[in-house]
Chains A and B, each alone.
Chain A
Amino acid sequence: MGTSPAGVAGVRMRGFERLPWRRIILVVLGIAIVLVVGIGAWKTLSLNGAEGGYSGAAWRDFVVEGVSQGAIYAMIALGYSLVYGILRMINFAHGEVFMAGAFGSYFFADAYEKSGFLDRDPVLALLIITGVAIAVSVGTAALLERLAYRPLRHAPRLVPLITAIGASLFLQNVFRGFFGPQPYGYPKPHILTGGTTILGVAMTRVQLLVIVVAVLSMVALQLFVARTTTGRSMRAVAQDSEIASLMGINVDRVIVITFVIGGILAGIAGVLFSLTFGQVQFTMGFRPGIAAFTAAVLGGIGSIGGAALGGFLIGLLRAVGPPLILTGFGIPSVFSVRDAFVFLVLVLVLVFRPGGLLGSGEAEKV
């Protein structure tokens, strides 16, 4: 392959390669995707109820579910994005930080349910549970940074990524070793069962709680990063850590704080996720972690607004995309390929717009 003969053949070969093959392939691929999405959506929407189509109420439910899922993804995605912004590394184990918080809080939630405290004073109980989740997640994230990532601060880029994969596997199995492989049922306070209607949109109370809490915490994070001195030093380190340290910023401290903030958000997300799905298990961090990472990349990794936007978008795509596009083609049980849909979005974003929606067009090449 590498030994193309010199002379005429070689020249012709080179001329052949000068055609922008990559661009042609991408354009063809892009057109194909637009066609598939367009035709699928059109066919689905032209179905009526008897033919397996969905009613308007069903679509509203999909959207609400997507937004509430997306809120959780957004909170996890912020953890990826903050760390990436500062260290330029993908903290692959962040999904496990989220799992750790959810798992840690389960034991308190379970105890409170058995003692009746969870229903007697749900607000206080949920606050304590969330506090526990935050503590466990923050502890995990800080330990991870200290033991696995700090010794590799100046290593080549792939080394921390492989370490992070190892750490992710390790953490999963630690929780499996501590608590066993079985899923645990996560209790839900009585006050959160049932539905409600906000601005004419029906949703479950858990979904309402998820959206409200997620939006509040993201606003708080934005204020923290924009208004406080620590936030300013975080932005400085993200721009140029060497110059920042010359300006008297303790870079190590900023990095730890970044992991801690990611942990706080992941802990809250862990409680919200467990309340939504009603169970915790040692593998629960993997898929949401990938979905959240996709969200971070989709929005433009390293940017807070981008991660939030990406989270909601991924939630919506995951909830609405498969029924909208695939049902029209008569594909059975469209919901089983939801996660494949997320991965497809991840691949397409990285291929077509690696900088993300809010980022620059193309990521740096090396």
Chain B
Amino acid sequence: MDVRSWIRVGIIAGIVTIFLALVGLIGRFVDLNLVGEQVTFARLVLIAAPLVAGYAVTRPRIRAGERRALAPRDAIMAGAVSGATAGLVFGIAVVAADAFGIDRIRSVFLNVSQPLIDFVTFGQPPVVGAVILTAVSAVAGGLAAGLRVTPIAVRRPITTAVSAVLVLGFLQRIIPIALDQLNFERDWLYSRSIGGLTWLGAILVAGVAAGLSVLNARKGRDLRARLFSTREESTGVAPAQLGLALVLVAVLVAVPWVVGEVISQVLGTVLIYVLLGIGLNIVVGYAGLLDLGYVFFYAVGAYSTALLTGAALNTFTGSGPPAVSLDLNFYLAIPIVLVIAACAGLLIGAPVLRLRGDYLALVTLGLGEMVTVLVRSPWLVPLVGGPNGMRGVSDAAVAGFGFREPQHFYYLALGFVLLAIFVSWRLSASRIGRAWTAMREDEQTAEAMGVNTTRFKLLAFAMGGAIGSLGGSMFAVQIGSLTPQSFEVTVSILVLGLVILGGLGSLPGVVVGALVLVGLPGLLREFEEYRGLAYGAALVAVMILRPQGLVPNVRRSRELQEEERAQDEWALEKEADVAVVEGIST
């Protein structure tokens, strides 16, 4: 019974809600319906912090080395108190804001508006609204706490069902298009008038998800064992594995025609970032060299592809030829681009070899920024067009079949991604990969064991740079024209973010990271503005809560396991700190 800590967590949650309102995550999404007209994104955000608070305060505590869960009644109580405190804090803020004058606040904080106040007070006078807010938040906190203390057999289907409904609700711009494309009747699932799921659809989805979850709990282990059995145990390829592979290939091939042109465009961009991620993963994940200037290779790839395939400069009067250029076939140009990028990697790598990790990061950041400044400076206009850029990049046509169409481009990019994945996978399993691992874990010991660190660092830079430049080439083909705006430091940070989010050194992690960080924002246009906010919060939260990433590298997580167990215990001791972080990261 630690009422003070419940209240403290509640106050933090209340402040987080105020923050979310000020950033505009509530007021701008009042009309974003997820299920029916009742479950809107804004309402979800309003109760998100109390939910998290209720969940966080019921975290089992370690007392004298023993893990103790709270009794269900205490837990619900704790959650309700936290939630109520959060609602109260936010309610008081709303009342104070109303008394102070909405317009006066609005002249500073752009997102505070009368509709926002009306929304959060449920159309009532502020004081009444604050009371309702407190009650609603208390219920939310209590529910979250109650969920935590229910047995896992009940909890898992519920959470699966709720998340499935929410995810489908968010994908309201994508799934209906795909269904229309396939000529499926979809009005029972997604409403045309309100946007989100219908209640009928939501209930069906929840039922299916809960059923699958139960099934998974009963039979899942057996199935997974058959699908992912390790090579030592089975001889040859098991039929189940072969089936899985065939299904995967069929899905990959069919995707662009199922989802339509708009989503194929987004998928193409995702694949470009997967390429960049695979390249950076070699440098950061395998070799442990933090590179903050990866946009350098992206730019090298894009501009050298453009120059080699006969693109023209944009000028005020039309177009002109660049100072140096060739008019090669795209597939002849690609090897040259790779060699150029690998040499650029060596050039960058050579002088910075002796630098310690964080200094290396800043040198690469500096180099990346130099490229951005130079590409747009008037100085390089004769070569790359300066701020006006270039146009007329090859569309990589094979026998008249061009790849600029989003649905065609998907296949070209997919081909290069598969190639890069193969190369990267074989590299990581080779002697080179092991040398990188050794170097990453302890450079001096690796050197003492006979690993030539100079050589392997350079190799990592060259390989990573070459694969990254492929991403740049793909981008040039996809867009057909280049402007300096595409080559900013944000690209470096974004790629680093997706590699870290997915899990350093993990190839599936790169794909997941790219889908989450590039695919989702590309599909959910409404949230475009909150991209940076989400990346930043995700980077901090991943580093603090789950440094191994979403899909960790197997070997690496085995290496880290011992350490992590120690870390977990340490984290539990400092649960108050983590609770704060959880509140922030929502």
How would residues 225 to 252 of chain B score, 1 for a CB under 8 Å from any chain A CB and 0 otherwise?
0000000000000000000000000000
Report how far A147 CA is from B16 CA in the complex, Å: 13
Contact with B along A32-58 (1 / 0, CB 8 A): 000000000000000000000000000
Q: Is the CB of B350 within 8 A of A25?
A: yes
Report the Cα distance A89→B367, complex, angstroms. 21
A344 within 8 A of partner (CB)? yes
Which B residues between 278 and 307 are near A, CB-CB below 8 angstroms?
Answer: 288, 290, 292
Q: Mark B530-560, 1 if CB is under 8 A from A, else 0.
A: 1111011111100110010000000000000
From B106-114, B184-192, B203-211, the one touching the partner chain is B106-114
Is A72 an interface position by the 8 A CB rule? no
Provided the pairs A177-B24, A363-B356 are in contact, do residues A163 and B530 lie with their beta carbons within 8 angstroms? no
User: Which one of B59-67, B81-89, B140-148, B578-586 is at the A interface?
Assistant: B578-586
8 pairs, CB–CB < 8 Å, chain A vs chain B: A1-B456, A161-B290, A161-B361, A166-B539, A169-B536, A178-B110, A178-B111, A180-B110
Q: Return B495 CB to nearest CB of chain A, in Å.
A: 12
Contact string against B for A residues 65-94, beta-carbon threshold 8 Å, 1 for contact and 0 otherwise: 000000000000000000000000110000
Contacts of A347 in B (CB 8 A): 351, 363, 366-367, 370
Contact B367 A174 (CB under 8 A): no
Chain A contacts for B53, CB-based, 8 A: none
Q: Which 6 A-B pairs have the closest CB atoms?
A: A166-B539, A170-B536, A177-B23, A169-B536, A173-B532, A343-B366
B181 on the A face (CB < 8 A): no
Q: Distance (Å) between the CB of B356 and the closest chain A CB? A: 6
Could you tell me the distance between the alpha carbons of A333 and B377 in the complex, rounded to whole angstroms? 8
Interface residues, chain B, with chain A CB atoms under 8 Å away: 19, 22-24, 108-111, 288, 290, 292, 350-359, 361-363, 365-367, 369-370, 373-374, 376-379, 431-432, 435, 443-444, 452, 454-456, 459, 489, 493, 496-497, 500, 529-533, 535-540, 543-544, 547, 574, 577-578, 580-581, 584
CA distance A360 to B334 in the complex (A): 45
The secondary structure that dominates the A interface is helix
A366-B446 Cα distance, complex, nearest whole Å: 12
| CB pair B543 A163 closer than 8 Å | yes
Residue A354, interface by CB 8 Å: yes
Give the docked Cα–Cα distance between A179 and B577 (Å): 29
Given contacts A159-B547, A167-B540, A180-B110, contact A150 B432 (CB under 8 A): no
Given A177-B22, A366-B356; A166-B537 close (CB under 8 Å): yes
Contacts A152-B543, A166-B543 known; A350 to B363 CB distance under 8 Å? yes
Give chain A's interface residues, CB within 8 Å of chain B.
1-3, 17, 22, 25-26, 29, 89-90, 107, 147-148, 150-152, 155, 157-163, 165-174, 176-180, 286, 290, 293-294, 297, 331-333, 336-337, 339-340, 343-344, 346-347, 350-351, 354, 362-366
* Least distance between A245 CB and chain B CB atoms (Å): 18
Residues of A within 8 A of B540 (CB): 148, 163, 166-167, 170
Contacts of B452 in A (CB 8 A): 2, 17
Task: Name the residue on A nearest B489 (C-beta).
Answer: A286
Asked if B352 contacts A346 (CB within 8 A), the reply is no
Judge whether B377 and A346 touch: CB under 8 Å.
Answer: no
Please give, as numbers and ranges, the residues of chain A lying within 8 Å of B355 by CB-CB distance: 350-351, 354, 363
The answer to whether B530 and A177 have CB atoms under 8 Å apart is: yes
List chain A residues, Cβ under 8 A from B529: 176-177
Given known pairs A1-B432, A148-B544, A166-B537, the reply for A22 and B370 (CB within 8 Å) is no
Distance from A53 Cβ to chain B, minimum over Cβ atoms (Å) = 19
Q: A162-B290, A363-B359, A366-B443 are in contact. List 5 more A-B contacts (CB 8 A).
A: A22-B353, A157-B357, A165-B539, A347-B363, A347-B367
What's the nearest-Cβ distance from chain A to residue B100, in Å? 14
Report if A173-B530 is in contact (Cβ < 8 Å); known contacts: A2-B452, A167-B540, A366-B444.
yes
B365, A290: Cβ atoms under 8 Å?
yes
For A329, the closest partner residue in chain B by CB is B379
Minimum C-beta distance from B502 to chain A (A):
14
Contacts of A163 in B (CB 8 A): 539-540, 543-544
CB-CB under 8 A from A25, the residues of chain B are 350-351
A159 to B545 alpha-carbon distance, docked (Å)? 12
Roughly how many angstroms separate A57 CA and B351 CA in the complex, as a whole number?
A: 39
Q: When the two chains form their complex, are residues A170 and B290 in contact, meaning their CB atoms are under 8 A apart?
A: no
Complex Cα gap A297–B366 (Å): 13
Q: How far, in Å, is A351 (CB) from chain B's closest CB?
A: 5
Indicate the member of A148, A151, A346 with the most B CB atoms within 10 Å.
A151
Given A169-B532, A169-B535, A332-B379, do A151 and B578 touch, yes or no (CB 8 Å)? Answer: yes
With a CB–CB cut-off of 8 A, which chain B residues contact A165?
Answer: 292, 493, 496, 539
A344 touches B370 (CB 8 A): yes
- Chain B residues positioned under 8 Å from A107 (CB to CB): 108
The one of B367, B532, B584 in contact with A176, judged by C-beta atoms closer than 8 angstroms, is B532
Chain B neighbourhood of A350, CB < 8 A: 352, 355, 359, 362-363, 366
The answer to whether B543 touches A159 (Cβ under 8 A) is yes
Q: Which residues of A contact B533 (CB under 8 A)?
A: 170, 173-174, 177
Report A-chain residues with C-beta under 8 Å of the C-beta of B357: 157-158, 161
A148 to B545, CA, bound (A): 11
Among B111, B366, B444, which residue has the most Cβ atoms of chain A within 10 A? B366
**Chain B residues near A89 (CB, 8 Å)?**
358
Contact B378 A152 (CB under 8 A): no
Closest Cβ of chain B to A268, distance in Å, is 22
Shortest beta-carbon distance, B131 to chain A, in Å?
Answer: 28
Which residues of chain A have C-beta atoms less than 8 A from B361's C-beta? 90, 158, 161
A170 partner residues in chain B, CB cutoff 8 A = 532-533, 535-537, 539-540
Report chain B residues within 8 Å CB of A173: 530-533, 536
Q: Is the CB of B370 within 8 A of A365?
A: no
> Which of chain A's residues have a CB closer than 8 A to the CB of B356?
157, 354, 363-366
**Which residues on B sit within 8 Å (CB–CB) of A29?**
351
Contacts of B353 in A (CB 8 A): 22
| Contact present for B377 and A340 (CB under 8 Å) | yes
Q: How far is the CA of A152 from the CA of B540 in the complex (A)?
A: 10
Residues of B within 8 A of A340 (CB): 369-370, 373-374, 377
Alpha-carbon gap, A337 to B539, bound state (A): 31
B578/A336 in contact, CB under 8 A: no
**Which residues of chain A are near B379, meaning CB under 8 Å?**
331-333, 336-337
**A152 CB contacts on chain B under 8 angstroms:** 543-544
Nearest-Cβ distance from residue B315 to partner chain A, whole angstroms: 15
Q: Which residue from B444, B456, B532, B578 sits with its C-beta under 8 Å from A2?
A: B456
**How many angstroms from the CA of A339 to the CA of B431 in the assembled complex?**
41
Assembly CA distance A17 to B366 (angstroms): 29
Q: Are B532 and A172 in contact, CB atoms less than 8 angstroms apart?
A: yes
What's the nearest-Cβ distance from chain A to residue B545, in Å? 9
Check A158 against B290 for contact (C-beta < 8 Å).
yes
B354 contacts which chain A residues (CB < 8 A)? Answer: 22, 362, 365
Give chain A nearest CB distance to B455 CB in angstroms.
6
B23 CB → nearest A CB, Å: 4
Nearest CB of A to B394, in Å = 30
B435 touches A2 (CB 8 A): yes
- The residue from B24, B110, B500, B530 contacting A162, defined by CB atoms under 8 A apart: B500
Nearest CB of A to B539, in Å: 3
Q: Among A159, A293, A337, A346, which residue has its beta carbon within 8 angstroms of that of B374?
A: A337
Instruction: Report the separation of the CA atoms of residues A346 and B368 in the bound assembly, to the nearest whole angstrom.
Output: 12
Partner of A151, one of B376, B496, B544: B544
Identify which of A293, A332, A350, A365 gathers the most chain B CB atoms within 10 Å of its CB.
A350
Instruction: Check A346–B22 contact: CB distance below 8 A.
Output: no
Determine if A90 and B544 form an interchain contact, defined as CB atoms under 8 angstroms apart: no
